[in-house]
Amino acid sequence: MRKLSTVSILICCLLFAFVSLSAEEKIDGLGYHPLFKSRVLQKEDLLKIISEKADDIKKGFTDAGYGEDMYNQFVKQLEAGNIGDAIEVNPGEKIEWMIFRPKKDEIEVKKDLVWSAEKPFLAFTIVFSKKVKEDVQKEYRKTITTTTYEKYNFIVPKTCGNISLKGLSTYTDTKETPISNLPPTCDLKVTPDEILAGKSITLDASGSKDNDPEICTESKIASVKFVIAVDGNVVEEKTLTEKPFIYTTKIKKHGICKVSATVTDNEGATASGACEKEIVVLQKNFLLADIGFLYQWDPAWFIPIRIGFMHKFSKSIGVIGMVGVAPVVSGDDDTTAILADMTLTYWPNKFFFGIGAGYFGSKMNKRVDFILNTGFQVIPHVSLFLEGRCAFDEFDVIDKFGRLGLGFRIRY
């Protein structure tokens, strides 16, 4: 039984070898069934072949299993002059397939050929590659592209012009493309856009972005530096290193406040272009001086001279405190008065309106007045005002002791 098994294995091996050898067809001569008749084929003759025998060659490519697409690729190489010098095909070398013309109107393709003559033959070479697959992988800071190509080695024997595929191989090409660090983008919001000196503003750079691709998972905004300047003078700098990059601070000086933000990513790149905002910081405290005429109906004329201080609670509302004197310039019913006034004032625009109380004391009478005034700005820092006042206990004799004044108010 053991001898029988050994014999069976040997027979199978011999049969396999015989089948393998019989799959290849040996050829030992060329020129009997030429695709293009020429004693000595030249490179320029290859263009004649694809021009005059286009249909035959297309059929040959199709019968070989490669179709019109490969035919077009082959023709493109010839037209581009991609024709190598003649090489020797030596005995024993294999040829994948070759186009023959067994009869005048026939085209035949034979596959798996072996050149079995004793001497080599000369053939032009047309070698080109075709991309068949591309694989792209992305890693941090690089892209790896692996491309698979099929390399086609065509030959055209000089003795017959029979187009042949001598060999087909596959190879890959791998390229690493670095992913450059992209600078971040700055987004800055400052609220509110107008404040009184001493009030707070909020600087918001949370909308800033790191622009690197998602594959760069470690990329991020590392810091935001805020610089605050009023009228060109830096009053504060602040650097934040954690999200959400929002900062609130008070602006003590009045003027044009410019806020700039410098956004930096984790690799040191900064956002390009200006990232700035401007807001108006209004003056909160002012010195005032008044001068004018005050008429009392008993009758008497005074010249009120006052100095004071104005403090704003908001852009439109504030309080004014003033002190001064009001010498009598006409009338015998009173003497020089001492003034001490406090008014709540509203400024919707260049006009203002005030209401308050004040002390008006002379040697002859000491009063606590109810005050109403209004006015408007005629030039920057100078306003024209109209003021009426009367003692709280003299409203019944306002026609005698009421006072009406007109003058100028200077604001510093």
| Residues 57-100: tens digit of each pLDDT | 999 999 999 988 999 999 999 999 999 999 999 999 999 999 99
Give the number of residues written for the chain: 412
Q: Which residues pair with 366 in a beta bridge?
A: 361
Query: In this structure, what token pair is assigned to residue 144?
Result: 């790896």
Are 355 and 321 in contact by the 8 Å Cβ rule? The answer is no
Task: Indicate yes or no: pTM above 0.85.
Answer: no
Residue ranges covered by each domain of the chain: 23-178, 189-282, 285-411
Spatial distance between the Cα atoms of 111 and 88, rounded to a whole number of angstroms? 20
Q: Looking at mean pLDDT, say which of 118-122, 139-143, 218-222, 331-335 comes out highest.
A: 118-122
CATH architecture of 285-411: Beta Barrel (2.40)
CATH architecture of 189-282: Sandwich (2.60)
User: Which residue type occupies 110?
Assistant: K
Query: Is the model's pLDDT at 293 over the cut of 60?
Result: yes
What is the percent of the chain with per-residue pLDDT over 70, rounded to a whole number? 93
In whole numbers, what is the pLDDT of the chain averaged over residues?
89
Same fold, 189-282 and 285-411: no
Give DSSP secondary structure letters for 338-370: EEEEEEEEE-SSSEEEEEEEEEEE-SS-EEEEE
Task: Convert the pLDDT of each residue in 360-386 to its tens digit.
Answer: 998 888 899 999 999 999 999 999 999
- Report which secondary-structure segment, H or E, holds 9: helix 2-22
Spatial distance between the Cα atoms of 408 and 386, rounded to a whole number of angstroms? 9
Are 257 and 229 in contact by the 8 Å Cβ rule? The answer is yes
172-176, 178-182, 274-278, 408-412: which range is least confident on average? 178-182
